[in-house]
């Protein structure tokens, strides 16, 4: 009965393990939602750049170089980029 909560400490080690599991599931869900929002934003940015490049660059605060990279990405590449996490800059 080592893991059972006592009257004095209602949250014993067993409940801490359950809380950690809930937090892990919650964090995973939150990260998935953030990736989905990021992908939506990236696709919106691409659409705006294709419709009116100069206006989109101004509204999104993008340089010409970043705008070029965004417009050159396919939807599949954008999804892969966002799913893989942060990318280190080379050079």
Start-end of H helices in the chain? 13-51, 53-60, 64-72, 75-84
pTM comes to 0.62
Name the token pair of 87: 């990318």
Tell me which residue range forms the domain holding 56: 13-82
- Confirm whether 39 is domain-assigned: yes
Q: What pLDDT score does 91 carry?
A: 43
- Confirm whether 44 is domain-assigned: yes
- Kindly state the DSSP code that residue 85 receives in the 8-state scheme: -
Q: How many domains does the chain have?
A: 1
Tell me the CATH number at 22.
Answer: 1.10.4000.10
- pLDDT by residue (tens digit) across 17-54? 556 666 677 788 888 888 889 889 999 999 999 999 99
Tell which phi-psi region holds residue 87, choosing left (phi > 0), alpha (psi between -120 and 50) or beta.
beta
- pLDDT by residue (tens digit) across 52-62? 999 999 999 99
Q: Give the residue with greater pLDDT, 32 vs 85.
A: 32
Burial letters 60-71, b for 16+ CB under 10 A, else e: eebeeeebeebe
- Confirm whether 76 is domain-assigned: yes
Q: What pLDDT score does 20 carry?
A: 61
- Confirm whether 6 is domain-assigned: no
- Confirm whether 40 is domain-assigned: yes
- Confirm whether 7 is domain-assigned: no
- Confirm whether 59 is domain-assigned: yes
- Confirm whether 63 is domain-assigned: yes
């Amino acid at each position: 009965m080592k893991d059972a909560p006592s009257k004095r400490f209602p949250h014993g080690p067993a409940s801490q393990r359950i809380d950690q599991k809930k937090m892990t599931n919650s964090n995973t869900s939150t990260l998935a939602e953030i990736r989905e929002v990021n992908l939506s934003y990236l696709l919106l940015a691409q659409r705006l750049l294709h419709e009116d490049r100069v206006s989109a660059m101004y509204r999104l605060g993008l340089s010409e170089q970043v705008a070029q990279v965004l417009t050159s990405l396919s939807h599949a590449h954008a999804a892969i980029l966002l799913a893989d996490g942060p990318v280190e800059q080379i050079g």
